[in-house]
Amino acid sequence: MTTWVDTTTFIPWKQEFRDRRWEIFRTYTSDRVEEIASATGRMCLSITERTLWARDKVSYTKLYMDAARYDAGLTDADFSSAHLEVPLDSWFRAGGP
């Protein structure tokens, strides 16, 4: 994989994925970047539109992000193996683990 990253914002503008013959088979591009306010009011630069191009450069999939939450109070414990094994349906029934 080759990634072109903006050295100021650290936004990945383009990513190329290669097969065993080193030919490009998939390309991601970042098409729109916007500032989104976090829960604390901090502005966060976010990719809100991306395109996944297929090998033929004709077929593609558009990805749109219409909502994001930053500074939502997650801790390192929220990403522990034990915590991540909690079934998702229990999160929704109880309003969280």
d(CA 39, CA 6): 25
For the segment 20-72, what is each residue's pLDDT rounded down to a tens digit?
A: 999 999 999 999 999 998 888 889 999 999 999 998 888 999 999 988 888 88
pTM over 0.85: no
**Nearest Cα to Cα of residue 9 among 54, 43, 37, 55:** 43
d(CA 11, CA 30): 8
Report the alpha-carbon angle 49-72-3, nearest 5.
35
Q: How many CB atoms lie within 10 A of CB 28?
A: 20
Residue whose entry in the numeric block shows the structure tokens 């033929």: 56
Strand partners, 32: 49
Strand partners, 27: 16, 53
For the segment 31-42, what is each residue's pLDDT rounded down to a tens digit?
A: 999 999 888 888
Q: Does domain 2-94 have CATH number 3.30.413.10?
A: no
> Under DSSP, is residue 89 helix (H, G, I), strand (E, B) or coil?
helix
What residues does each domain of the chain span?
2-94
